[in-house]
A and B are shown apart, each in its own frame.
Chain A
Amino acid sequence: MFDGFEETPLVERLKWLLAILLVVFLAAPSFIVVPMSFSSSDFLAFPPPSLSLRWYRYFLESITWTQAARASLTAGTLTTLVSVPIGIFAAYGAMQLSQRWRLLVSGLIVLPAVIPSILIAIGLFFVLARIGMVGTMTGLVLGHVALAIPVVFVVMSAAFSQFDFSQERAARSLGARWHQAWLRVVLPQVGGPIVASGLLAFVTSLDEVVVAMFVSGGNNATLPKVMFTALRDKIDPTIAVVSTVLLVVATVAVIVILRKGAAALRA
């Protein structure tokens, strides 16, 4: 950027040092949980005194944690299955609206992302309490869908903004039915972003704490909810195991997203 200026080697080196330190600051803390999960110790200690898989065994044998893992997987899968199609439809529809309507509609759809999630959580809790659905999977998925929709919508809007809609019109004018045009012309061209948005929706649900705290319960308590409670009560390395599992899922998702949805995210 500042290519018209001289730069002293010392300043240059200092700049790189600071930048790398900052990257370590950003990336390293998340990964510290991985070695801790292999600890043999009864409590948190870093570095772990010796390595063992005992906390992984404990995690797999504990009814509370496995049930939470099952609830999280169910919620994440259902959230993805619901939010991705309706998010795609919304992005596709909003694309063809006039400027003013598009702004209004997309403003409403990204609302759940900008409103503090505690408000969505308690608001949803009020509504679900009224219809007797607190603690149900349906209620939880509903909350997670609301939080996943803005993500899917933004990624798919970016993808559609690069899509040439005259192709769909051409297909239709050549006699393709509506669903044929969609399946064979539109969807194949936005496949990458669809995979990316699905993963993002899944990770959103998998990592979500606040809505789960209020809306899920009993058999439907998710991993983050159980983890949050455990963090307040007693901290043992099982939490590091759960964190590692969540971290691995998120990392895999981000890698796939960077490859699949790079074009959409760059836009």
Chain B
Amino acid sequence: MSALNPTVAHSAAQADNDGRLAWDARLERLVSFAFTLPCLAVVALCVLVPCAWLFFLSAFGTDGNPSFENYQRILDGASYARIFVTTFQVALATVAACVLIGVPFATFINGLPPRRSVIFLAAVLLPFWTSLLVRAYAWLVLLQRTGIVNSMLMGLGITKAPLELAFNHFATVLGMTHIMLPIFILPVLGAMRNIDRALIRAAASMGASRSYTYRRIFLPLAAPGIAAGAILVFVMSLGFYVTPAILGGGNVNVISMRIARSLSNYSNWGAASALGVLLLVFTALLFALSYGVQRVLLSRQRS
């Protein structure tokens, strides 16, 4: 019957064909996915398994039974509380410095004609790829008692005796700001590039002042990029190790330094992994927060 009916026969063939196409598409997707497997395997081996291991080590006592002993010790110990406070203080100060310096600087670069802006952008990007260690060391040289900064300050008669600039919070935040500024400027500049210039011109034509336009039109439109940059800087600052270790000179104890110390000095894996898990949780929470903030800011712009 169906063989006699051309339309039915046709659609049956088509269905068959569609089915095969769908199968082909699925196969193709599977092959595409297989291409990503080596990468995913490395990530699993180097990130996912170790993180799971951290959870495991932190949540079981030395006798192999589940215990919150490691976390309890962190909650009780005043030294741990101080480490968390220090870490957050340093990270917040770094974010503040990045916002204060980075937003005006990004505005400046954004306002330049393309050719000139490339030069400034290269100047921002070049230190991005130089070693953290080299930069920490360079700051150490600059800030030491007999360093250039001190001799300049004394030469100008601003101070009589050399200031203690290295090995403290100030040096740490300075070094971290130096490292994070390019990372902050890139998303901010991205957001600023997307702002419609017609809106600025419209404000001008309607008699708004320059600073009013900047505050009420330009900055709110750049806000998602600024928020993204600030949260990125904050999250990355929480995990810093090298810069505080060198520029803090032992006077600035942050979480990662404590983790490293409990491992290398005391081989206390439980304590180190509990701290590691907390750091991981903070990182994840902040990224989730950043995602939420982005969505709110973007939806507010649309409405």
Contacts and interface: CB of A to CB of B under 8 A. Distances in A.
Interface of A: 1-7, 15, 18-19, 22-23, 25-27, 29-30, 32-33, 36, 44-46, 86-87, 89-90, 92-98, 101, 105, 108-109, 111-112, 114-120, 122-127, 142-143, 145-146, 149, 153, 200, 203, 206-207, 209-210, 213-214, 224, 227-228, 231-232, 235, 239-240, 243, 246-247, 250-251, 253-254, 258
11 contacts: A3-B201, A26-B124, A26-B181, A27-B123, A32-B142, A98-B29, A115-B51, A115-B280, A118-B260, A231-B137, A232-B245
Contacts of B13: none
A4 B36 contact: no
Interface string B257-297: 00110010000010011001001100100010000000000
B32 interface: yes
A145 B279 CA distance: 23
Nearest to A22: B105
B92 interface: no
B39 A96 contact: no
B158 interface: no
Interface string B22-35: 00000011011111
A186 to B, nearest CB: 12
B49 interface: yes
A254 B47 contact: no
Contacts of B43: 108-109, 111-112, 146, 149
Interface of B is mostly: helix
A136 to B, nearest CB: 15
Given A209-B131, A251-B126, 20 more contacts: A2-B218, A3-B200, A4-B201, A19-B105, A19-B108, A33-B137, A89-B35, A90-B35, A96-B28, A105-B36, A108-B40, A114-B283, A123-B46, A123-B50, A126-B54, A149-B43, A207-B130, A207-B134, A224-B131, A228-B245
Contacts of A117: 239, 241
Contacts of B239: 115-119
Contacts of B241: 116-118, 209-210
A247 B127 CA distance: 9
B144 interface: yes
Nearest to A147: B46
Contact of B57 (A33, A89, A90, A126): A126
A123 B53 contact: yes
B130 A246 contact: yes
Contact of A97 (B32, B54, B110): B32
Nearest to B34: A93
Interface residues of B, number: 91
B49 A243 contact: no
B197 interface: yes
A145 B276 contact: no
Contacts of A109: 36, 39-40, 43
B37 to A, nearest CB: 8
B59 interface: no
Contacts of A89: 35-36, 38-39
B279 A119 contact: yes
Interface of B: 28-29, 31-36, 38-40, 42-43, 45-47, 49-51, 53-54, 57, 101, 104-105, 107-111, 120, 122-127, 129-142, 144, 146-148, 178, 181-182, 192, 195, 197, 200-201, 203-205, 210, 213-214, 218, 235-236, 238-242, 245-246, 256, 259-260, 263, 269, 272-273, 276, 279-280, 283, 287
B16 to A, nearest CB: 22
Contacts of B111: 1-2
B39 A127 contact: no
Interface of A is mostly: helix
Contact of B36 (A94, A146, A231): A94
Contacts of A143: 46
A101 B31 CA distance: 13
A119 B133 contact: no
Contacts of A200: 129
Closest A-B pairs by Cβ, 6 of them: A123-B50, A116-B239, A93-B35, A4-B204, A146-B46, A90-B39
Contact of B32 (A93, A120, A125, A246): A93
B105 A250 contact: no
Contact of A146 (B42, B57, B240): B42
Central interface residue in B43, B134, B148, B245, by most chain A CB within 10 Å: B134
B46 A86 contact: no
A142 B287 CA distance: 26
B22 to A, nearest CB: 13
A132 to B, nearest CB: 16
A143 to B, nearest CB: 6
B10 to A, nearest CB: 25
Contacts of A105: 33, 36, 40
A118 B280 CA distance: 10
A123 B269 CA distance: 10
